[in-house]
Amino acid sequence: MPEAEKLYSGCLEGSAGQLASEFTAYRHSLRQVFRDGPIAIYERSRPGREPHEFELVVIREQKERVLLDGSIIPAREAYPNSENWGTYGWSFPFSQRELVFELGRRMAASPCSYGQWMRHTLSHWKDKGRLPNAGEDAALVAAYPKREPSAA
């Protein structure tokens, strides 16, 4: 396995507020296959089947919250919910493995706004058949220099 695809050393149970490296959501199994800071790639599959999709996500920090009944939800990492898809999460067919891992590596290294970066990078890829070169990426960083804050 290439070094960039190393498994994140996160605990399966997501201890200490860390997002689990394997979990089930919406009747799909998700298994983390890459992580660099807040950028992660999960393989998505139906239970007992081979993966059919990748999810490239920005894992965000959620602050501690106090519920109306007084119980406390501690601060923790959070997977993007469906409302945040397209801003903090993107799905790709399994056949696009090389593209997904290259996007993950580039996104982790970019100081840009994640959602803007992804929209422009994918638009460039669709229009020109390739990802932006260093100069084109530098122009994008200049246009969208700020990353989004953590989740509330």
pLDDT over threshold 80, residue 40 = yes
Please report the pLDDT score of residue 148 as a whole number. Answer: 60
Domain residue ranges of the chain, discontinuous segments joined by +: 3-95, 110-144
Least trusted range by pLDDT, from 20-34, 75-89, 137-151:
137-151
Using a 10 angstrom Cβ sphere, with 0-12 exposed, 13-18 middle and 19 or more buried, the burial of residue 18 is middle
| 111 contacts: CB under 8 Å, gap ≥ 6 | 141, 145, 147
Q: Please state the pTM of the whole predicted model.
A: 0.81
pLDDT digits (tens, 9 = 90+) for 13-25: 345 688 999 999 8
Residue 8, pLDDT above cutoff 70: no
Mean pLDDT of the chain: 84
SS3 136: helix
Closest CA to 118 of 149, 146, 90: 90
